[in-house]
Structures are given as C-alpha cells and as structure tokens.
Amino acid sequence: MSDEPAPSLAEAPYGPEPSAPTAPPAGVQRQRLHPLTPLLESFRFLTAAVAAAGLQAFTSRNFLFAIYIALAAAVVGGIASLIALQYRGFVIWGRELHIYGGVFTRSHRTVPLDRLQSVDLARPIRARLFGLAQLNIEVAGGDGTDAKLAYLKADRALELRAELLAIAGRPPAEPAPEPAEGAVPDRDAGLLVPQLTVKRLALASVLEALPVQLTAILVFGTAFAVTGSIFGFSTVATTLWVGFFAPALLGYLQSTVAMVNRFLRNGRFRIGRDGTNLLIQRGLTDTSHETVPVDRVTGVSFDEPVLWRSRRWRRVEVWTAAVAQQSATAVKSTTALPVGEPDQVAVVAAAAVPDLPSVFATERPPRRARWRMPLRWKRTGAALTDRAFVVRHGYWVNTHVAVPYARIQSVKVTQGRVQRMQGLATVRALAAGGLGHDAVALHRDVGEAVAMAAELRERADAAAALERPRLS
C-alpha cells in the first residue's frame, strides 16, 4: 500500500462528457411505434380472453354473453391502446436515444449510445404475421440500462439499427443492415459453420430429451403396475390420477414442449464472425438476430447430453457479461452452436474466445469423493489450461465450462462439514453475470483446492494485465 494521497476521484471524468443537452426539448417530434403494438403486446391476454369467451359460449350456449364480452374487450382495449400510443415514442437526440412510455406513470429512459453494446433484431411470430420487428438495445453496465423498441416495421427496424450503430461509432467492420432473408445467394457464405440441417437438429433434440422422458414413463409405469396389482387397477387409477399422474403428465408434456421450443428456436441456425462480434441468426417461427461482442465473453460452456456421446456431438453456449435482461432472474447465455461435430465445436470455440481449445484433459477429484457422486465422479474434473479455468460436471448432461482467466471476478473456496472430515474443498470461480454463471470445481483435495485458488488469482491478474484497460 503506497502512502500517496488518494487521487481526487471527482476530477477524473468517468465516461465521455455529454456534449449535447441531455434531454431533448419538449417540442421535438417523437417517432411513433407501430399502431398494432398494443394489440401484439396483449397477445396472450387476447388469446386467453377469446378462449374464455369461446368456452363460455360452448358450455352455456350463451352466445350473446360471449359477444358482449368480446365487444367490451374490443372497445376498451382499442381506446386504451389509442391513448397509450400517444405517449409512447422515441427520439434520437445527439448521442442519446430517449424512449418514452406510460400513461399514468410516465417513463423516460435515456440510452447513452456511446456505451452501446449491440442492437438485436428480434421477430416473434406474432410480429412476423404483420411484418413487424422489435429492437433489443443493449448497453454496457448491467441492469436497468437495456431497452426494447417494440414494434416497428421490419425495414424501419433495420434502418434504425444501422442508424443507432452509426451514431455509436462502431467500427466500419460492423456491416450495414444485414441482407434481407433469402437474398443471399450462397447461404453458407461468411458462416463459421455450415447451416444446421433440420434433420440433425431434430435428431439431436429428440436424443437430448429422450432420457428424461423414458425415465418418467418407466418410473410411473412401474409405479402404476405395482400399486395396481396390489390394490386393483381401477381404484389406483381413480385415486392416484388426480394427485399423482396428472402432475406427472403435465411435467412430461412440459418437457416435450421445451424440446419442441428448443427445436423451433434453433432452427435455421447461422453463426458468423464479423470483426469483434459473433453474429447469430436463428429461429424457425420467431427469428432473432443476436450480436455477441467477443471481448465481452466471460465463459464458454460445452454441453454433451448422454445420448449424444456416441456421436461425439456437443453444444456450445457463450456467456456474456451484458446480455439483454428481459427478467432479472433469468440467467441468459447465448447458444453459439446448437449441435456440432468436434471440428465445428473447435471452430466456434476459437471464434468465441481466441485460442480456446475445445477438448480438455481434466483431472478427477480424489477417489475418496467417489461415493458422494457415484455416477458423476468419472465425468467430473477441473483443469488449469493455458488460457482458461476449465471444470467439468454432470452425468445426464456432461458440461465443460471454460472461463478465461481474464474474466474471473472473484474466487471462493468453501468446505462443508462432510468435506472437512474427508479433507476436500470446493473451488468456485465467479464470472460476471447472473447466479450460476460460475465455474465450480467440486470436491478437490483441500491442499490442491487452496493452491488452485491462489493460482487462479495469480493467473487472473496476469491475464487482466495483458488486456487493454477498459471502463465498465
């Protein structure tokens, strides 16, 4: 610790000085959102209302009542959305984007375009029906600064995206608006990995969901057969149906829906690299464009579901420090490759983090930890590689997590009661972002764990020193 007096922090400007007045004057013409916006935003509510009215009409044969409900909803909704639209809009003023909203509680969000991370174009299916799109605007610096502009006409959204990126002064390597879908003659041009075939994606989705579904069917089938043979099938069926089978069936359905969703989300997956960004386009029904700045990647995870193992397929996910946080609790990572062969995985990994290998030799925890995780033990491990801290865990989905040393925030060593009796400890390297975004090396020998933590800290400092200093 030096004895020099503290530098006066107030004088050092943290961030660029605002050159223009921060708020636009009241008279500036606001740009409006598309008039269909309120309708699309209350899409789920509308569907529910229609379903409820339909059900009502169907069960009670009271068509008049249903018509009243529909009329009332249409009138109230129409008036409310017309009023709401008057107060919603946005203005590009200087180097800032101002977004207005709210009728009773006015909101005014200022997005500093200097700190713009990315502008993603998303097209949910309900918006695609009307040729609309939304822009997700992402700014460095955590919560509350991300903004959404929904909905705009698709071509207007592309124009606006280009405009915002131009104001932000992104390097010219950033392409002008991406070509419209279908306009590219060679569809694999400029891609890191050839576009995924539907067949492989479908097979991969099924194989991933199969273990869970098979186990569910087996468990409940045997439970039903055993209890049925003891108590008689009819009583079991009626008594257990409500309390047990219905929820189980619901869970089963949910897993199926999740599988289908994943398939739809990752259909037509294309990943390209442009300068310092990864550009991702995906989606069969809801298309979305995502931009992942490579210098913001805090970690890469490689998932290998148990049935993919024989095919040597893996999925690559990329964690970033600033992801558009729709909800605060959701831990979001971006899929960089839904399923790929070893060489494709290697290409994507190296594109996400320079020089990151995709195959790691991890060291298992000591044998005395084996009884604590009999299935997983063989597939658990940790390694300090050249560039990244790599941990491996999971049986049904075996995951390798690689966190580059320069992205390690803090390191924790914990030792539980039983671990203490066994002389084990767990090392945790935390990366920026949500909970669960950390690399956990389970059950290391205690001496090794502490040495590993010390080594991680040293390497993190060394790696961070090599990088150019950055704000935020």
Partner 1 sequence: MSPKATPVWDLWPGDLQWQPMSPQLRKVWVLRSWINLFFLAVAAAVPLTIWLGWEGPLWALGGYAVLASLRSWAVARTVATWGYAERDEDLLVRHGLLTRRLSIVPYGRIQLIDLSAGPIERMFGLTTVQVRTAALGSTTEVPGLDPPVASALRDRLAVRAAEVREGL
- Cβ 305 vs Cβ 396: under 8 Å: yes
Q: Does the protein bind partner 1 through residue 367 (CB under 8 A)?
A: no
Residues in contact with 85: Cβ distance below 8 Å, sequence separation at least 6, in sequence order = 32, 33, 35, 37, 38
Residue 430 binding partner 1, by CB under 8 A = yes
Query: ∠61-64-68 over CA atoms, to 5°?
Result: 130
Residues 91, 163: contact at Cβ < 8 Å? no
Q: Which stretch binds partner 1 (CB under 8 A): 99-107, 252-260, 376-384, 417-425?
A: 417-425
The stretch near partner 1 (CB under 8 A) out of 85-93, 126-134, 205-213, 414-422 is 414-422
In the sheet with 381-384, reading across from the earlier edge strand, the strands are: 334-340, 314-320, 297-305, 397-404, 388-393, 381-384
Least Cα distance to 318 among 282, 352, 293 occurs for 352
The answer to whether 306 and 396 are in contact (CB under 8 A) is yes
Q: Are 452 and 362 in contact (CB under 8 A)?
A: no
Q: How far is the CB of 415 from partner 1 (least distance, A)?
A: 4
- Footprint of partner 1 on 239-258 (CB under 8 A): none
Residue 210, C-beta contacts closer than 8 angstroms, at least 6 positions apart: 307
When asked if residue 10 is in the footprint of partner 1 (CB under 8 A), the reply is no
- Give the other-Cβ count within 10 Å of 436's Cβ: 9
Interacting residues with partner 1 between 142 and 181 (CB under 8 A): 142
**Min CB(6)–partner 1 separation in Å:** 5
Residue 312 three-state SS: coil
How many residues of this chain interact with partner 1, rule: CB under 8 A? 48
- Among 25, 27, 185, 469, indicate the residue that binds partner 1 (CB under 8 A): 469
Stretch near partner 1 under the rule CB under 8 A, chosen from 69-77, 174-182, 265-273, 451-459:
451-459
Do 100 and 86 form a contact (C-beta atoms < 8 A)? no
Q: Which residues within the stretch 326-365 sit at the binding site for partner 1 (CB under 8 A)?
A: none
- Shortest distance (Å) from residue 349 CB to partner 1: 20
Shortest separation between residue 375's beta carbon and partner 1, angstroms: 25
Residue choice 91, 346, 434, 440 for contact with partner 1 (CB under 8 A):
434
Among 92, 223, 384, 450, binds partner 1 (CB under 8 A): 450
Question: Least Å distance between CB 233 and partner 1?
Answer: 44
Backbone angles phi, psi at 466, to 5 degrees: -75, -25
Among 441, 402, 451, CA closest to 419: 441
Residue 422 contacts by C-beta under 8 Å, 6 or more apart in sequence? 368, 369
Asked whether position 459 contacts partner 1 by CB under 8 A, the answer is no
* By CB under 8 A, residue 407 contacts partner 1: yes
| Closer Cβ to partner 1, 227 or 276, answer by number | 276
Identify which of residues 7 and 374 has a Cβ nearer to partner 1 in the complex: 7
Does residue 410 touch partner 1 according to CB under 8 A?
Answer: yes
- For partner 1, give the closer residue by CB, 146 or 208: 146
* DSSP reduced 3-state for 213: helix
Report the residue number, 115 or 379, with the smaller CB distance to partner 1: 115
**The only residue of 438, 439, 442, 459 in contact with partner 1, by rule CB under 8 A:** 438
413 touches partner 1 by CB under 8 A: yes
Residue 190, phi then psi, degrees to nearest 5: 75, 10
Residues that bind partner 1 (CB under 8 A): 1, 6-7, 9, 142, 296, 298, 321-322, 406-407, 409-417, 420-421, 423, 425, 430-435, 437-438, 446-447, 449-451, 453-454, 457, 460-461, 464, 467, 469-472
